[in-house]
Amino acid sequence: MAIKIQQAGEFTGFEQVIRFQEDSSGLRGFLAIHSTRLGPALGGVRLKAYASDADAIEDVLKLSRGMTYKCALAELPAGGGKAVILDHAGMVRDAAFRAFGELVESFEGRYRTGPDVGIHDEDLRNVAKATRWVADESDPRLGDISMHTAIGVWHGLRACLDHTGIRTATVAIQGLGNVGMRLAEIVHREGHSVLAADVDPQRVAQAEARFGARAISPQRITAEECDVFAPCALGGVVNRATIPELRCRVVCGAANNVLESLETGDELRRQGIVYPPDYLVNAGGVIRGGEYFLLNSDDSLPSIEKIYARTRNILRESEQSGEPTARIADRMAESRFRG
């Protein structure tokens, strides 16, 4: 397979941003390496039908940058990268993911990939046919990445509950996918109530049956009265349009780039809504992947549990200083990866 690679442009603050294409499989996409200053760039691959190449580039830049911040705050010896594959009808899925594996292999470990939105286990198995540098969950030693993410979100969420003094919470989960469904399971097991919204009604029905969840329309979930709004679908859900309608005390979920902008985080703080930064609480998966890849560890649960203390510390600091949590977290991460 012949993969064509070209620089996608110069982007300030990024080490490398490429466009890739493999014609026989229809593979097309972008890969960004934000920083390898602390170690190899970790970051999954996302499959999505983007409206334009500009949208795909914007996504890959935001996501790869977020990975650098996430790894730095999680104290991993790793940096941030990400890949997005453009979903389209002409793509031959198996062959495209094998070709993507070859692309990953060509980075010789400088970029290491894993699952993100739209990726199935089978896709990663195809990637793994061409590269060692993939968190392929068919290795039982690695374990379930999304479960590790959900456990990390839970530690962040319970830190928010302890911070606010909420004992029994109603948690509104937007998106019952790999992480959201597992989070629903934990929240239910821990004795809290689940409100569930997904564009896929079967997933909602499953949450109703398994966790006694109450179904909420996906259009209404941001305006639903609850203790915790847990975005576990896509990013940007806390924005100028949704902030006025939020009726929760805490926003804490798995989605990357929950805030439309840093200013949105400032507004959340003004409204008294507790928000632990997304990349702090959703780091469980990358902590597992990073420790497996880089430290050869068998068990990352103790490291993931540290998300609880980090979240409490940032919430306390924000309360004392008045500075919004997203800005505190950015500063802490930057001081690590910029040295």
* Integer Cα distance of 238 and 264 in angstroms: 7
**Under a CB-based contact definition with an 8 Å cutoff, are residues 230 and 180 in contact?**
yes
CA angle 118, 172, 314 (to 5 degrees): 90
Q: Which of 21, 177, 261, 306 binds ligand NAI (CB under 6 A)?
A: 177
Q: How many CB atoms lie within 10 A of CB 267?
A: 18
Q: Which of 35, 126, 242, 256 binds ligand NAI (CB under 6 A)?
A: 256
> What minimum distance in Å lies between the beta carbon of 63 and ligand NAI?
7
**Under a CB-based contact definition with an 8 Å cutoff, are residues 227 and 247 in contact?**
no
Q: Which stretch binds ligand NAI (CB under 6 A): 22-30, 176-184, 297-305, 324-332?
A: 176-184
Note whether 276 binds ligand NAI by CB under 6 A: no
Q: Which stretch binds ligand NAI (CB under 6 A): 207-215, 251-259, 293-301, 310-318?
A: 251-259
Q: Which residue is nearest to ligand NAI (CB)?
A: 177
Note whether 68 binds ligand NAI by CB under 6 A: no
> What minimum distance in Å lies between the beta carbon of 149 and ligand NAI?
3
* Residues 277-316 as x/- pattern, contact with ligand NAI by CB under 6 A: -----x--x-------------------------------
* Residues 199-228 as x/- pattern, contact with ligand NAI by CB under 6 A: xx--x--------------x----------
Catalytic residues: 82
Q: What is the DSSP string of 120-176?
A: -HHHHHHHHTT-S-B--TTSTTT--HHHHHHHHHHHHHHHHHHHHT-SS-EEEEE--
Smaller CB distance to ligand NAI: residue 22 or 152? 152
> What minimum distance in Å lies between the beta carbon of 176 and ligand NAI?
5
* Residue whose C-alpha is closest to residue 334's, from 110, 31, 35, 111: 35
- The one-character DSSP state at 192 is -
* Integer Cα distance of 30 and 109 in angstroms: 17
Q: Which stretch binds ligand NAI (CB under 6 A): 7-15, 125-133, 230-238, 302-310?
A: 230-238
* Integer Cα distance of 240 and 264 in angstroms: 7
Note whether 234 binds ligand NAI by CB under 6 A: yes
Q: What is the DSSP string of 33-88?
A: EEE-SSSSEE--EEEE--SSHHHHHHHHHHHHHHHHHHHHHTT-S-EEEEEEEE--
Q: Which of 16, 35, 64, 174 binds ligand NAI (CB under 6 A)?
A: 174
Q: Which of 117, 204, 213, 228 binds ligand NAI (CB under 6 A)?
A: 117
Note whether 197 binds ligand NAI by CB under 6 A: yes
Q: Which of 15, 59, 116, 330 binds ligand NAI (CB under 6 A)?
A: 116
| The pair of three-digit structure tokens given for residue 279, joined into one six-digit string | 């990349």
* Integer Cα distance of 150 and 254 in angstroms: 7
Tell me which amino acid residue 61 is. Answer: L
Note whether 254 binds ligand NAI by CB under 6 A: yes
* 214-215 and 41-42 strand pairing: unpaired
Residues that bind ligand NAI (CB under 6 A): 115-118, 145-146, 149, 174-180, 197-200, 203, 218, 232-235, 254-256, 282, 285
